[in-house]
Amino acid sequence: MSNRVPFLAAVLTVVAMVGCGRNPSVEQETPQQLAKVEWPDIVARAKGTGVTMAMWAGDEARNRFFQGPVTRTVAADLGVTLRIVPVADAADVVNKLMTEKSVASEARGSIDVVWINGENFRAARQADVLWGPLADLVPNRRTYDADAGTRDFGTPTDGFEVPWEYSQFVFAYDSARMKDPPRTLDELRQWIARHPGRFTYPAIPDFTGSAFIRHVLLHAASVSPEVFAEGFDERLYARASQAALNVLREMRPNLWRRGETYPATPAELNRLFVNGEVDFSMSYGPTFASERIARGEFPPTVRTFALEEGTIANYNFLAIPFNAPNPAGALAVIDALLSPAHALAKIEAIGGMLPHALASLSEDERRKYDALPRGAATLPLDVLSARRVAEADVEYLIRLERDWRRTVLQP
Amino acid sequence: MAIVTAVGCLALAPLALLAVTSLGRRWFWPDLLPPEWSLRAWQYITSSDAGVMGALATSLALSGVVAITAVLIAVPAARVLALRRVPCKGLLTFGLLLPILTPPLAAAMGLHAVFLHLGLADSLAGVVLVHLVPAVPYATVMLAGSFAGFDTDWEAQARTLGAGRFAVWTRVTLPTLAPGLAVAGTFAFLVSWSQYLLTLLVGGGQVLTLPLLLVSFVRGGDEAVGAALSLLFIAPTLVLFAGAARVMRDV
């Protein structure tokens, strides 16, 4: 038979490939075991190993910074080979971990460090797919305020993730088109009513769009926005969401394309903004406009503002998956990423805010921090910190997103 | 001729737009062309820090192996399906096509669980195997078409004239089937080349291919880098189709 040769070749190829499959079960160190190990010994164990970190990677400057300087610093200082795995959404990683937990919970996984927060952290905790608690094992955790990131969207972190970066929501406008941007949510509402079709926000479940409607929730009820961070209260939600959804429904006919459609992502909103179809953009990153101006994606006249009654600010976090192949290496890398030196280098390279307690910076670091250039579109730190509210409990987020779909998207 | 030119322009217009987007800076409405030009996106994707060249090499090697393996599996399957009497042939064909008939997400999640059980997740070997799942049906269907028009008497005649088994295969069967093999291989390559979900789930991020990077950038909103990566992504497709067209014309 003339066709036996290729068939045999195919079978052999498949058999050879199956033979290459990795040996799945390898002893993993527990948090309790590593808690008994002195830090220099953990660093010594990490030396010469590889660490895989999964992080959102949709930003060229960020990718360039992590694939380049960060990877090189980690290799030089710790002797660790850092591998960055790009993910489009941390939810993908949590789903993968959940599948791995249900199918092969004893097997070694592939990811050592994951960049995470909010809903994804809560889902990961509920499914018990994180390794920890790890907060006390990372020395540089102490360069952050002690109460920083003890809650993540209201969910107690319990040391299963450590605060890493700090962010605050801002709006962007073009000063060449608009001289006097709204200062409060109420002024923004009036502006939208007077300028039909010139405002929109990314549709839920987009992260940025969801943050926008949370601002309406936090500021629509006449209570201090901070109470939303103190756990979920059914009665407060009923009152606040009714007011907020009314505001959003009233806004809808005056949105871009009469609110019949929304941009799906911040990227689409930014495109509408720079092409002059709408007059505002928004982001959970206070330096985003300066970064985009530098890249030539925003005109140099774009500026940002924060609402006078406050915009939402929050930490995001680093965590270790339950089946991480190299927890000691993961701890060493997380410690390096939590250092003020890393934060300063990052602000210089790609922008962002300093997440540390200023008091924990050395004199040298403080001088370096004060000398960092701030993009023209970025608000001064004192303005941002004066207009800051905590992120609401994640239950408010889930309920508001659901009710927005039911009553604003399809009234 | 005019129609060919028009179709050609229509096909090339999106590519030209991608090229301009990848090189443009501060390109906002109502400008017809970018007011500034910049090599930023191309410098980035060719820099060693971006990992694009590594992903390109992985994608090329991965899809090459998948294409060759898929064709090797498909040749005997297609021959039997096209030339022999097989019981329940319809059912067999249906089973063969099932992987491409089921919704990709459902198939991908189930395959991920199976691969985890087998210890094949998060490895290159696992990704090759999982890409074969959709690639083999395409290759088999393509080749079955070729075999349907294949007359086995040519092989018999060569044997009668004293040709050995190997000579029959290389001098009669292969040349006759060449166009079919080229098309089947091209399709298998492209099926593998464009996989996002299967690579993401089964590769677990350990196997970094071009589509994974492309989706990250397009979702992240960096249009210049997204456009440059798109052009890089399309290039092998154009080369392959040109090659396959040539094989078919030569025969």
> Which residue of B lies nearest to A22 if distances are taken between CA atoms?
B119
Using the Cβ of B59 and the Cβ atoms of chain A, whether some distance falls under 8 Å is answered with no
Q: What is the mean pLDDT of residues A228-253?
A: 95
| Angle (deg, nearest 10), helices B104-118 and A90-104 | 50
Q: How far is B230 from chain A (nearest CA, A)?
A: 15
Q: What is the pTM of this model?
A: 0.83
Token code pair at residue A168:
């605050």
* Alpha helices, H only, A205-287: 207-220, 234-251, 266-274
Q: Rounded to whole angstroms, how far apart are CA atoms A131 and B31?
A: 52
Q: How far is A267 from chain B (nearest CA, A)?
A: 4
Peptide bond before residue A205 is cis, with ω within 30 degrees of 0: yes
> Which residue of B lies nearest to A266 if distances are taken between CA atoms?
B221
Question: Cβ neighbours of residue A270 under 8 Å, at least 6 residues apart?
Answer: A281, A292, A297, A298, B221
> What does the pLDDT look like over A321-354, one tens digit per residue?
999 999 999 999 999 999 999 999 999 888 888 9
CB contact under 8 A, B123 and A21: yes
- Beta bridge partners of residue A304, listed in sequence order: A172
Asked if the model's pLDDT at residue B122 lies above 90, the reply is no
Neighboring chain B residues of A86 at a CB cutoff of 8 Å:
205, 208, 212-213, 216
> What does the pLDDT look like over A167-210, one tens digit per residue?
999 999 999 999 999 999 999 999 999 999 999 999 998 889 99
> Which residue of B lies nearest to A267 if distances are taken between CA atoms?
B221
Q: Rounded to whole angstroms, how far apart are CA atoms B36 and B121?
A: 46
Cβ A168 vs Cβ A286: under 8 Å: yes
Neighboring chain A residues of B123 at a CB cutoff of 8 Å:
20-22
Question: Cβ neighbours of residue A257 under 8 Å, at least 6 residues apart?
Answer: A197, A200
Q: What is the mean pLDDT of residues B191-219?
A: 87
> What does the pLDDT look like over B147-189, one tens digit per residue?
988 888 999 999 999 999 999 999 999 999 999 999 999 999 9
Asked if the model's pLDDT at residue B84 lies above 90, the reply is no
Which of B20, B75, B116, B129 is best to mutate for the A interface (most A CBs within 10 A)? B116
CB contact under 8 A, B122 and A110: yes
Token code pair at residue B217:
């950038």
For chain A positions 86-115, those within 8 Å of chain B (CB to CB) are 86-88, 92, 96, 99-100, 103-104, 107, 109-111
- Position A12 scores a pLDDT of 45
Q: Rounded to whole angstroms, how far apart are CA atoms B183 and B169?
A: 19
By Cβ distance, the residue of A2, A6, A267 closest to B220 is A267
> Which residue of A lies nearest to B32 if distances are taken between CA atoms?
A275
Q: Provide the 8-state DSSP code for B150.
A: -
Neighboring chain A residues of B201 at a CB cutoff of 8 Å:
96
Q: Rounded to whole angstroms, how far apart are CA atoms A283 and A209?
A: 9
Amino acid identity of residue B79, one-letter, is R
| Angle (deg, nearest 10), helices A118-126 and A90-104 | 10
Neighboring chain A residues of B51 at a CB cutoff of 8 Å:
67
By Cβ distance, the residue of A20, A63, A299 closest to B26 is A299
Neighboring chain B residues of A20 at a CB cutoff of 8 Å:
123-125
Q: How far is B38 from chain A (nearest CA, A)?
A: 9
* Alpha helices, H only, B84-196: 89-101, 104-118, 124-148, 153-160, 165-168, 174-193
- Position A339 scores a pLDDT of 96
Confidence of residue B190 (pLDDT cuts 50, 70, 90): very high
Output b/e per residue, B103-133; b: 16+ Cβ within 10 A: eeeebbeebbbebbeebbbbbbbbbbbbbbb
- Closest by CA to A55, choosing from A103, A1, A92, is A92
- The proportion of chain B whose per-residue pLDDT surpasses 70, expressed as a percent, equals 100
Token code pair at residue A229:
């961070």
> What does the pLDDT look like over A250-308, one tens digit per residue?
999 999 999 999 999 898 999 999 999 999 999 999 999 998 898 888 999 999 999 99
Using the Cβ of B223 and the Cβ atoms of chain A, whether some distance falls under 8 Å is answered with yes
Asked if the model's pLDDT at residue A234 lies above 70, the reply is yes
SS3 content of chain A, % helix, strand, coil (to 5): 50, 15, 35
By Cβ distance, the residue of A4, A22, A275 closest to B29 is A275
- Distance, C-alpha B89 to centroid of its chain: 27
